[in-house]
A and B are shown apart, each in its own frame.
Chain A
Amino acid sequence: MTATISHTRLRVLFAFFAVASLLLSGRLAYWQTVGRAELLSRATDQVHSDLVVAAQRGVIRDRTGAILATTVELRSLYAIPGLMTDKGGNNIRSTVAAALAPILSEKAEVLRAAFDSGAEWLFVRRRLPEETATKIAALHLPGLGFEMEPKRLYPNGAVGAQVLGFVNDDGLGQYGVEGRYATELSGTPGRLVVARDPANRELALGLRTAVPAKNGDDLSLTIDLAVQNAAERELAAVVEREKATGGAIVVLDPKDGAVLAMASSPTYDPARVGSADAEALRNRAISWTYEPGSTMKAITVAAALDKGVITPTTSYQDVGYAVIGGRKLCNALCKVYGPTTITQILARSQNAGAVFVASKLGASDLNSYLQAFGFGQRTGVDLSAETGGIVRPLAEWYPVDLGTISFGQGLSVTPLQLASAYAAIANGGTLYRPYVVASRRDADGEHRTAPVAVRRVISEETSRTLVTMLTATVDIGIANAASLKGYSVAGKTGTAQIPSDDGSYVDDAYISSFAGFVPAIDPKMVVVVVLERPESKLLGTVPAMNTFKAIATDALRYARVQPDRP
């Protein structure tokens, strides 16, 4: 007997298979066309990895090639608490915590609490010192692993901290050279797309698209580590001795404006930026302004000499004060000197004498020379956060301002501006733009920074005359404490009052400074030392001069500069 199937059933069956085939075909067509990209993407994701290749941050060196800042990959310790089990599957988090605690100098309970926090994955310590990481790795503890993370290291500790700046946790340069040259130092990240096997190893025969990272440029600074160290050592010592609230030192090469050293107090350790005081991050040499006091007399005399309204032997009768704009401006301690030459004005630091010189010069010319020497404007040094100081426009000057500005009150400067101006006096009259980066090295080679002569400020003859007068100020004058055995020194002291918020001056608090260069003839360095509120008060210029001597002695020995005096 032959079994028969009804036509209806056959039709239904056929229709069912037809519809099913149609649906399957449609679905297939969908995945082959519209959904192709999605499928391809999923498949690609399983075997391909698309990584950003970090660029190596550039190295910063001093002028001799010593490393000041560099980046290295350090190991960060992470934990996967769920894997902290022994062979029998028992939880050994306490054991792991106890083993780690002495190495990390941490309490075992704290580590245990972190492991028990419920996190599936956590960093235990980031960027460990190499010895610590090696010790931990040798323990072979379960549930622990290492991940490489870049860290900016400063092998000289706090030396040069304010010049260098630092790199924050996001890898961005802040302050100093790190901030100013952030783009050049950071480079450009690359990209690597590769096929990987299940063990996450790169397949040699798979897809490989690589855009190499462009590493950051290396920078060589004009800073000399030995001079920088001497400047910071002496500044720290004098600030501590004098219980000063702060201070700054600038050492410049007067021939081209290269910054040899730049120290600022208070300072900080770039390795512990997080705990640094905000005030310590400020580079006082470029971002702090103060009334310069008598160091400005050299500028006033330079302007008058250059203008030809005085000579070193021009004399006047000193009565202990000068009256200008209806105001009486006295010498220090209202001392009366009688007949006085211009050389003696500098040697004795007479305020009334400076007013006499300024009166000969006139407000307009004094203002012009102040501008020419670069006061009231940024020097253009290649560091971030520079300020320009204040020299009010001539139209805003009161008659008395001609007198007060002549001896350094009523305007504000930065230590770097003053050093730059003294460098112009020392080098024959040319103002150079101070600079910190001597050269930049990239893939194309080394690019040296060309010194920039901003302008001629005074004539060579004026420069020579003023150098002789400033040398006399040190040899026989008020700045005798700055004299060095075997070397001629030219310089000028400065004691300034500190303006208060109400427009008057703070009682019994001063800013003491010394600006000088050595040797006086063919000078190798200009040094400016500024101390804020030294304990010695009016005698604060003495520790400033002693600091100058200590730095100059070290730097001259180090640079093997031959004595120019018996």
Chain B
Amino acid sequence: MTFAQAVRAPQARRVQHRLHRQAVPHHRGASRPSAAARARGASWEIRSFLVASGVIVSCFLLVLLYLAQATAVSAAGYEAQRLAAQRDELRRQNSLLMIESARLDSPARVETEAQRLGLVRAATIGVVVPEAVAATR
């Protein structure tokens, strides 16, 4: 049903209602519904239609929204996983660098390197005692 058909349909039903009412004797006021009453009836049907349409459209939009959110969450989940993997790899690299740093700082390696450079262990170490320095001043 097109939108135009849908709009026309309530009017057709209204004509049938009018004929039916004419067949039944009523008091004068009732046999000829006022323009306001007719307008109210038309308005109610249009409103019903609009409400129904609104509900359908809303439901459709809600489903769309849900799907969009679900897709976004899913995509964000994949992105989070990628970032977590990246974080783990960076942590691993950091650990490897810390180990390399510790290896380079190792006293045994430093001694070997010093010997390779021709350095020798100091035979004597001069010690400056604070009290002795203070006494000279």
A contacts, CB < 8 Å to B: 66-67, 70, 72-73, 130, 153, 155-157, 159, 201-205, 225-226, 229-230, 232-233, 485-486, 557, 562-563
> Across the interface, which residues of B come within 8 angstroms of A202, CB to CB?
77, 81
Known: A225-B107, A229-B107. A205 touches B98 (CB 8 A): no
- 7 extra interface residue pairs, beta carbon distance < 8 Å, beyond A72-B99, A159-B106: A67-B98, A73-B92, A73-B95, A153-B99, A155-B103, A156-B103, A205-B73
A-B contacts, 27 of them at CB < 8 A, read A67-B98, A70-B99, A72-B92, A73-B92, A73-B95, A155-B99, A155-B100, A155-B103, A156-B102, A156-B103, A156-B107, A159-B107, A202-B77, A204-B74, A204-B77, A204-B80, A205-B73, A205-B77, A225-B107, A229-B106, A229-B107, A229-B108, A229-B111, A233-B111, A486-B127, A557-B125, A562-B129
B96 at the interface (CB under 8 A from A): yes
Q: Which of A203, A225, A230 contacts B77 (CB 8 A)?
A: A203
Determine how close the nearest CB of chain B comes to the CB of A179; give it in whole angstroms: 22
Least CB distance from A242 to B in Å reads: 21
Contact residues in B for A230 (Cβ distance below 8 Å): 107
Could you count the A-B residue pairs with CB atoms below 8 Å apart for me: how many are there? 64
B70 within 8 A of A: yes
Which of A155, A157, A485, A563 has the most chain B CB atoms inside 10 A of its CB? A155
Across-interface contacts of B129 in A (CB, < 8 A): 562
Q: Does B50 contact A (CB under 8 A)?
A: no
Residues on B with C-beta less than 8 A from A229 are: 106-108, 111
Selected from A155, A204, A232, the residue in CB contact (under 8 A) with B102 is A155
* B96-131 contact mask (Cβ, 8 Å, vs A): 1 or 0: 101110110111100100000000000011010100
Q: Is the CB of B98 within 8 A of A159?
A: no
What is the CA–CA distance of A349 and B92 in the complex, to the nearest angstrom?
Answer: 58
Closest chain B residue, CB of each to CB of A75: B92
B44 contact set on A, CB distance < 8 A: none
- Contact status A72-B127, CB under 8 Å: no
Q: Which of chain B's residues has its CB closest to A556's CB?
A: B125
Across the interface, do B99 and A201 meet the contact criterion of CB distance under 8 Å?
no
**Which residues of the other chain, A, contact B100 by a CB distance below 8 angstroms?**
155
Bound Cα distance A159, B103 (Å): 11
CB distance from A15 to the nearest CB of B (A): 47
Q: Are B108 and A156 in contact (CB under 8 A)?
A: yes
Q: Are the CB atoms of B127 and A563 closer together than 8 Å?
A: yes
* Nearest B residue to A158, CB-CB: B108
8 Å CB interface, B62-92 against A: 70, 73-74, 76-78, 80-81, 92
Residue from A72, A203, A226 having most chain B Cβ neighbours under 10 A: A72
Partner of B74, one of A205, A226, A232: A205
A438 to chain B, nearest CB (A): 18
Query: Measuring CB to CB, which residues of chain B are less than 8 angstroms from any residue of chain A?
Result: 70, 73-74, 76-78, 80-81, 92, 95-96, 98-100, 102-103, 105-108, 111, 124-125, 127, 129
Considering the complex of A and B, which 7 residue pairs feature the smallest CB-CB distances, nearest first? Answer: A204-B77, A155-B102, A229-B107, A67-B102, A155-B103, A72-B95, A156-B106
B102 touches A205 (CB 8 A): no
Report yes or no: B127 in contact with A159, Cβ–Cβ below 8 A.
no
B41 to chain A, nearest CB (A): 48
| A159 and B108 contact, CB distance less than 8 A | yes
Beyond A159-B108, A233-B111, whether A67 also contacts B74 by CB under 8 A is no
CA distance A225 to B108 in the complex (A): 9
A157 with B106: CB separation less than 8 A: yes
In whole Å, how far is A511's beta carbon from the nearest beta carbon of chain B?
A: 27
List residues of chain A with CB within 8 A of the CB of B95.
70, 72-73
The residues of A that contact B99 with a CB separation of less than 8 Å are 67, 70, 72, 153, 155
Tell me the bound Cα distance from A98 to B108 in angstroms.
37
Give complex CA distance A67, B111 in Å: 18
Cβ A204 vs Cβ B106 within 8 A: no
List the B side residues contacting A73 at CB < 8 Å: 92, 95
Which residues of the partner chain A approach B77 to less than 8 Å between Cβ atoms? 202-205
- Cα A203 to Cα B73 in complex, Å, equals 10
Docked Cα-Cα span, A233 to B107, in Å, equals 10
Q: Are A205 and B70 in contact (CB under 8 A)?
A: yes
Cα separation A205 to B92 with both chains bound (whole Å): 28
Give B129's nearest chain A residue, CB to CB.
Answer: A562
Q: Which B residues lie within 8 Å of A201 (CB)?
A: 78, 81
| Residues on the A chain within 8 Å of B107, using CB | 156, 159, 225-226, 229-230
With both chains docked as a complex, state the minimum distance between the C-beta of B106 and any C-beta of chain A, in angstroms: 5
> How distant is B44 from chain A, measured CB to nearest CB, in Å?
43
Q: How far is the CA of A130 from the CA of B95 in the complex (A)?
A: 12
Would you give the shortest CB distance from A194 to chain B, in whole angstroms?
Answer: 10
CB neighbours (8 Å) of A557 from chain B are 125
Q: Least Cβ distance of A399 to chain B in Å? A: 51
Q: Are B102 and A66 in contact (CB under 8 A)?
A: yes
Return A56 CB to nearest CB of chain B, in Å: 10
Residues of B within 8 A of A233 (CB): 108, 111
Task: Kindly state the separation between the CA atoms of A563 and B131 in the bound complex, as whole angstroms.
Answer: 13
